Structure 1
Amino acid sequence: MKTMSVKEASQKWGITERRVSTLCNKGRIPGTVKSGKIWRIPCDAEKPADLRVKNGTYQKGKKMKNLPMPVGISDYRLASTQYYYVDKTLMIKDFLDERPMVSLFTRPRRFGKTLNMDMLRTFFEKTEEDTSIYFKDKKIWACGQAYREAQGKYPVIFVTFKDIKRNTWEETYQHISKIIIKEFERHSELLTSSQCSEYEKAYYRKVVEDRADKTDMMTAFGNLSQMLDEHYGIPPIIIIDEYDTPIQQGYMRGFYDEVILFMRNLFSGGLKDNKHLSYGFLTGILRGAKESIFSGLNNLKINSILDTKYSEYFGFTPDEVRAMAESEGMSDRVDEICAWYDGYRFGNTDIFNPWSVINYFSNDCQPRAFWQATGSNDIIGEVLSLAEDELMDQLKSLLQGQSLLTYIDTNVIYPQIKDNPSSVFSFLLVAGYLKVVKTDFSFSGDFMCEVALPNREITIVYNKEILQKMTTLIPQSTAISIQEALYTKDAQQLQTQMSKLLMQSASYYDTVGESFYHGLVLGLCAMMDHRYDITSNRESGEGRYDIQLMPKMKQDPGILIEFKAANKASEQELHTLAEAALEQIEERRYDTEMITRGVISIFKYGVAFSGKHAVVKMKQTSGKK
């Protein structure tokens, strides 16, 4: 049997020789024998699992068979030791191979940005604790000594702005200040450092005692990085997570100019031409035009959802999801997980929504739109409120499962939204509401992308957060009543509620033709898609129906809706139009697809509109022929 020495095992497994000797003494390495004072270890022996308790908070003990899912956990040490952790540590290797000075990662919300930034902080930060224990069983540790040497080497400045969602600039500034003060306090060793000047220490005290003015705070990252460099003899790493959250709030709440001025100076002081910086990392949803927030920052390397580098590190890959399903004993649910949460494509990598996959397993594998409740997109609602018919038609086509070709501006910034409502597709894409089907470069150097809705979850979110924003004045009670009337086959109630809805909304629109009514009802019906497959303007029989609700369960009825609209029609004329719509469903045999699918009962609605008035006619037929 070929054997190796304690030293050779130490080098092979990435642990100290003392630790290897301890494992030998405890009989933890099968086949090991002692020759005199020398341990001889089988060359094919595997590194024993680390069962030691590391400190009072984190325990990296024997792995439980089914670790809990890390719902809402953004602390790397906790996530990687006490929960089911999907190993993303090779991101560190890719970074060290490239070593850009400042990196910006743009991804949708809840795609693992904060956890990855905390992973980088834990790996690189020089602390009294031996943080290598959180990486020795991870992929990065097997990459070699050159990468292990970077572990625990640098002081780190780490802030996250993900929770800064204030209504005024004064409140926002106070919140930013508190975060910076807390980070200064984390480096209290600087107060007693013999390497820092008394002037620098006076500045430090002014910050932590909350006596610094806005100008002082703008230079906080630059000054703190200089003091850390002087104290430790190595420039720090600066990590800024969710940099654009306060900027979005500034745009929506009317203090955009103030927040941009402050943040531009804050970031420039720490990241632009700073000789006291080793590396910088930022995350956000938008990459932002350089002339906006990253003015003059020519050392910035941007990694967007359209770029191939780091594409597999934010979100879960198909292999990672399959491994997770197998671990949970749910391998037979992979197709369901794909239908609900797959469909994203970052660079050249297929990606699942990690937040939703984790919540799916954590909630007894009951599929729901988990991502919907994690944030809002008020800006998209503002764009849609200004949208013209063409944009509305494009959005409705996406809901019907179609794709569209659109220009994607990767440098889009918030003030451009009102000037160019078509930029909504750029926002929808970077915010996670669209997937890229195909990408080409445009003449301007940006992208022409074929885009579509990624999965079932986003279809639901799209209905509730996007289509509803076209008709922001629809009361929730009215919307629910219309859905109930459709489902209970109550034509009179449907007519009453539709008229009520039109009274509340139609007068706010310049154009109230059939297209408007069609989109309005389609959006309302779409909220029923947990029980129905909803399509619009599709061929069936001898024509194209307006809206079809195909039941997913045999006991539910099928629903067909045909619209007619007229200007200044009398009530009698509306009754005639509604009857004509109902007859069109019959004459053109729009129920052909439902009959073929074996739908037992079909409810057909002829709906006639004129201004704020509606008449509904309903007929029930059997699907059996």
Structure 2
Amino acid sequence: MNEPIQTSSKTTETREINTNYSYYDGHYNQPFYVDKTLLIKELLKSGHVLISAPPRFGKTLNMDMARRFLEIEVDEDGKAIELDVDEDKRCLKEVQTRSKNFKLFQGKKILRENKFVFKHFVKYPTIHVDFRELVGHDFEEILVKFRKIINKAFRQHAYLEKSSLWDREEYNKETFMEYFDPVKCASLNKLDVEEGLEILAGFLHGHHGKAVYMFIDDLDVPVHTMVYQNLMSTKDKRETIEFLQDITRYLLKENEFIGRSLSNSSLIFSTLILQRARTIFHITLLCMNVCFPNFTASKKLK
């Protein structure tokens, strides 16, 4: 005679996984969080890095994690916030720290790397731009949208308006205001737009006395959209690609103020945009290597 199967009276709790977080401050304390903070150490082994993976693989999330860890924190006057350290000058004090971003990394693996934390945590002036917004029906629309991206980048560093930088002859506050003021920025010509982020990097370097860390999110979205949605004429496509190539050249090859950069992309179109930039170290989140011209050997991260 078969005995009845006994079932447990306990019920299994079903929990929904929210995959909509693109920024680290909304993700780090989720119940299914996977600690990948040691990726930050990998990123700093090379000066200029590109991460590629399909959509929804966490490229923006990992970029934002790195930016939150690295970006210098300032008060309303633009003065860098000095963080408390312990007696051996290597580890941050959790209780007395003044960093807004420190709580994002409490209990995470990266904070066990004392020497690395002391050397790199909130040490870099940063510029962050998102190329996801660069979608248009013609080149003029792309130019209009990039002016807005530049203005947004300048306004992220509003403290520069009060900086003592302008007491020095080599820095021109009027130039800063042309990009900082939305109305003036909207009337900038093509060359001024191409040089805008390079100019901002120079101002940040002058104010902080440190090389800038550049972050470019969704680098290949403009080209991806042109190819698959076919929104532009051939002439506008060519102008847009050359425009993006010149911008990355200014930022990643001919800019003495940018010491490191991190970009991400979904497809191989990024190699088209980066043709005029310096050699980039490529990290793929896939299980295969993708060989790009102008790139060093790819590295796979599991």
TM over 0.5, shorter chain: yes
1:181-330 alignment, distance < 5 Å: 181-196=151-166, 200-209=172-181, 210=185, 211-251=187-227, 252-254=230-232, 255-288=236-269, 292-304=272-284, 311=285
TM-score (normalised: structure 1): 0.37
Structure 2 CA distance for aligned equivalents of residues 85 and 112 of structure 1:
12
* Structure 1 counterpart SS, 2:21: coil
Structure 1 CA distance for aligned equivalents of residues 199 and 142 of structure 2:
22
The answer for the alignment partner of 2:33 in structure 1 is: 85
* 8 Å CA contact 1:159, 1:239 repeated in 2: yes
Higher share of residues assigned strand: 1
Change (3 A) 1:164 1:188: same
Whichever residue aligns with residue 93 of structure 1, its letter is K
The answer for the alignment partner of 1:130 in structure 2 is: 100
Whichever residue aligns with residue 274 of structure 2, its letter is F
Q: Choose the corresponding residue for 1:180, options 150, 166, 170.
A: 150
The answer for the alignment partner of 1:120 in structure 2 is: 66
Structure 2 CA distance for aligned equivalents of residues 190 and 302 of structure 1:
33
Whichever residue aligns with residue 284 of structure 1, its letter is S
Change (3 A) 1:83 1:220: farther
Q: How many angstroms does 1:265 deviate by?
A: 1.5
* 8 Å CA contact 2:223, 2:269 repeated in 1: no
* Structure 1 counterpart SS, 2:29: helix
Change (3 A) 1:70 1:231: farther
Aligned length: 249
Whichever residue aligns with residue 282 of structure 1, its letter is S
* Structure 2 counterpart SS, 1:253: coil
Q: How many angstroms does 1:176 deviate by?
A: 2.2
* 8 Å CA contact 1:104, 1:283 repeated in 2: yes
Give unmatched runs, 5+ long, in structure 1: 1-64, 305-310, 312-343, 348-408, 413-445, 447-625
The answer for the alignment partner of 2:6 in structure 1 is: none
1:185-584 alignment, distance < 5 Å: 185-196=155-166, 200-209=172-181, 210=185, 211-251=187-227, 252-254=230-232, 255-288=236-269, 292-304=272-284, 311=285, 345-346=287-288, 410-411=291-292
Q: How many angstroms does 1:410 deviate by?
A: 3.8
The answer for the alignment partner of 1:75 in structure 2 is: 23
Give unmatched runs, 5+ long, in structure 2: 1-12, 75-98, 298-302
Q: How many angstroms does 1:66 deviate by?
A: 8.7
TM-score (normalised: structure 2): 0.74
Structure 2 CA distance for aligned equivalents of residues 200 and 242 of structure 1:
32
Change (3 A) 1:246 1:157: same
Change (3 A) 1:276 1:69: same
- Asked if 1:142 corresponds to 2:112, the answer is yes
- Asked if 1:94 corresponds to 2:72, the answer is no
CA RMSD of aligned residues (A): 2.8
Change (3 A) 1:226 1:105: same
Change (3 A) 1:289 1:132: closer
* Structure 1 counterpart SS, 2:193: helix
Whichever residue aligns with residue 184 of structure 1, its letter is F
Q: Which has the larger radius of gyration?
A: 1
* 8 Å CA contact 2:49, 2:280 repeated in 1: yes
Change (3 A) 1:230 1:253: same
Q: How many angstroms does 1:147 deviate by?
A: 3.3
